[in-house]
Chain A
């Protein structure tokens, strides 16, 4: 769309700017403030420079949490994106079932996150939950409160349950916007189902998939409530992801300096990965 230059448009943006800045700027400054200082309460601060940053970056605890986080995000993306695309591909394009499918699929997205955690906790309880009971009676030794592997699997499956629908909805939206003529042309050109996917559906879905992957990356990287309610970060520290660790340090141990430094590093990591991903996708587009 051709746009006209008009700096008065700032007035239209002003309310948004004010509200978001109020919520983002002041707290961010607070965090920055803490990250360079040491306090023993009573608003007495001592300048600490980059000590906290060094401490966080060198701590094994942070490395482990970051590694767990990367592994978790990688796993859920590797499952949710292909699964979401496959489900979207096999959904009907029109007909009475579409609405039913969409409503049922969107349901997990609107359940409060702690309820998701609680629901899966109940679902997976080894002796009385539907999943736990079934697995154990089938002969699997399954107890997510004791075994790290079970806890990990449960957390990943829970996230897949919770969020794959977002990928489905977005991919489906992308698929619906492809005109029929493309499919007809492909049939006339003798294209196989794989070629149709590779050369028509995937390119047309690229934009929505970019959004889906970005959103899933951001949200899974910030995940807190669901695993916290499900496993509490355990057994041990095996499912302690970055946010859980951060809250433990900040509110549990009240180590504000390291927590603030970790917050900033954390935020920067998210920004950096999003920016890199976005830039790569856009550069591909431009070619």
Chain B
């Protein structure tokens, strides 16, 4: 087991002659601590899978280096990295039994047969596969096959990390939850580093201690689920995490106070007056409320989601979403709203303006 570190890793896939190189991964510096449970979250095409394949050695990055503890493994082939990976679509060796599937990685490495049976037995028990060891793997359901894929990673005692590439895509919804809890449980049992790629924020936030959010080939924020929710470092994080996502509204500055549509806003922390670039405020729908005075808005839509309602309001050309409790009345005439100063964030060119922890 080891700590994995990315140093200025960039990757571009080979392009047909004549086309300019486009980086699928733009400069990633990232440390994965030993034994951590990480989620790699981002929309399709943001570079998650590329990053994962670079860790496992299926891809060699165009630039930069990867270290496992202190060893540079950038050019090391997959087999020598001791990485396990579970793919989006379950991969099982159809002609083998469940037992042989689980034993395959060990036998390939010349582990004595007695030890193989011992390990396979143990892992099969962990994954509740013990009663199916003699069956042909081809006959299993998708979640069973995905368990075998996972088992082939767990069975090895030398793995540095287990990587998951959207492993629950083809699993039935009611089994997804089961399998995810199983993963979490396994992580606590064996303490191996796990990196879980997904585009589903619920999966990411429930699985991981640390969530790495990626956007357009870069890591935009690393943090605990709570941090990502309350202090998004980038407008993308604010927008991508939370449902509905954060409201991002244009603003200007007046004496260090943000001004949105001629309305000066109270803010919990003062800001340097000298900021160049596109200025925006971010406020989560949870922290927008109707008030006696404030920003005048027109109500566009009210969606009742049971315990609360999502209200879409408009101020000039800006749409704002807000969450309102189920029993709270929605003002009928000339409503005005206000933002909770403690949870108002200021963004300059999409990046959060940090002014110490005010």
Contact = CB atoms under 8 A, between A and B. Distances in A.
- The dominant DSSP class at the A interface is helix
A151 B153 CA distance: 57
Contact of A189 (B53, B104, B136): B104
Contacts of A188: 56, 58, 78-79, 83-85, 105, 153
Interface string A176-215: 0001011011011111100100011001100000000000
Interface in B171-217: none
B138 to A, nearest CB: 9
B94 interface: yes
Interface in A156-188: 179, 181-182, 184-185, 187-188
Interface in A231-287: 287
Which among A189, A192, A200, A204 has the highest number of chain B CB atoms within 10 Å? A189
A189 B156 CA distance: 9
B83 A199 contact: no
B108 A185 contact: no
B88 interface: yes
A187 B89 contact: no
A241 B245 CA distance: 77
Contacts of B87: 181, 184-185
Given A179-B89, A181-B87, A189 B94 contact: no
A190 B91 contact: no
B162 to A, nearest CB: 10
B239 interface: no
Contact of A195 (B58, B84, B108, B136): B108
B167 to A, nearest CB: 11
A195 B149 CA distance: 17
Contact of A192 (B77, B93, B94, B108): B108
B109 interface: yes
Nearest to B108: A190
B284 interface: no
B104 A182 contact: no
Given A179-B89, A185-B149, A189-B152, A199 B95 contact: yes
Contacts of B77: 187
A287 B108 contact: no
A9 B172 CA distance: 36
Contacts of A287: 136
Given A190-B109, A191-B104, A192-B108, A185 B96 contact: no
B108 A182 contact: no
Q: Could you tell me the dominant secondary structure of chain B's interface residues? A: mixed
Contacts of B108: 189-192, 195
A185 B91 contact: yes
A204 B138 CA distance: 12
A189 B105 contact: yes
Contacts of A192: 108
Given A185-B149, A187-B58, A199 B89 contact: no
Contacts of A179: 89
A190 B79 contact: yes
A72 B252 CA distance: 88
Nearest to B152: A189
Interface string B49-84: 000010010100000000000000000011100011
A147 B83 CA distance: 61
A187 to B, nearest CB: 4
Contacts of A190: 79, 105, 108-109
Interface in A121-152: none
Interface string B128-147: 00000000100000000000
B78 A203 contact: no
Nearest to A285: B138
Nearest to A191: B108
A189 B109 CA distance: 9
A146 B58 CA distance: 58
A136 B247 CA distance: 87
Interface string A210-238: 00000000000000000000000000000
Given A189-B104, A203-B95, A181 B136 contact: no
A240 B334 CA distance: 101
B83 A181 contact: no
Highest count of chain B CB atoms <10 Å: which of A185, A188, A203, A204: A188
A76 B93 CA distance: 31
Nearest to B93: A199
Contacts of B153: 188
Contacts of A187: 58, 77-79
Contacts of B84: 188
Contacts of B85: 184-185, 188
Given A188-B58, A203-B94, A287-B136, 4 more contacts: A188-B79, A188-B84, A188-B105, A199-B93
23 contacts: A181-B89, A184-B53, A184-B85, A185-B87, A185-B91, A187-B58, A188-B58, A188-B79, A188-B83, A188-B153, A189-B104, A189-B105, A189-B108, A189-B152, A190-B79, A190-B105, A190-B108, A190-B109, A191-B104, A191-B108, A195-B104, A199-B104, A203-B95
In the A-B complex, the 5 residue pairs with the closest CB atoms: A185-B91, A189-B105, A190-B108, A181-B87, A187-B78
Interface of A: 179, 181-182, 184-185, 187-192, 195, 199-200, 203-204, 287
